[in-house]
Amino acid sequence: MKYEIAIDGKLAVLSIAGGSFEYRREGGAAITREYSVAMAGEGICSILIDGRSYAVTILGAGEVSVNGRVLRVGVFDPRELRGRRSAADDSGPQSITAPMPGRVIRVLVEPGQEAAAGQGLIVVEAMKMQNEMKAPRAGRVASVKAAAGATVSAGDILMVIE
């Protein structure tokens, strides 16, 4: 699986295959490492990379703590038509997509409802962690394409904001 990512505004490509990953920052050399992940609680995991342990806590939409250091993180699935290049575009409909395979736990809004920027829209459980997808900007919920209990794949459109 290949993702375009941004960590504290620095763009990179992350490729994951089995128990290894390749990280390539824009204009930089590729770094390839072996890794494993163990869940340590809700929203908390331990990631082991080449024998070094990292405590990772999901703080909220777009923020994680790695060994106590808070990072702004964005992950963009290149299979999405909009991708990173248009993610900052505030005009037109914006799709809220599943970041990874999982199950919809709760839908927090209904079609036609107004949503504020950063408001929780839908909760997806993946790898025993619940991830709340938030509105990228203020707008109206145009459609909800996933119901509570539904199984979703990475990149599936969950709802559309206009």
Residues 57-79 pLDDT 10s: 988 777 889 999 998 888 876 65
For residue 83, the model assigns a pLDDT of 43
pLDDT attached to residue 89? 47
pLDDT of residue 59: 85
Q: What pTM did the predictor assign?
A: 0.48
pLDDT reported for residue 106 = 94
Per-block mean pLDDT, blocks of 10 residues, the chain (162 long): 82 88 88 92 90 89 87 73 45 78 92 91 84 86 93 85 90
Same domain, 44 and 69: yes
**Same domain? 96 vs 71:** no
Q: Where are any strands of DSSP class E within 8-138? A: 10-17, 20-25, 30-41, 44-49, 52-60, 63-66, 69-76, 94-97, 102-107, 114-115, 120-126, 129-134
Please indicate, yes or no, whether residues 6 and 69 belong to a single structural domain of this protein.
yes
Full domain range(s) for residue 72 = 2-76
Q: How many domains does the chain have?
A: 2
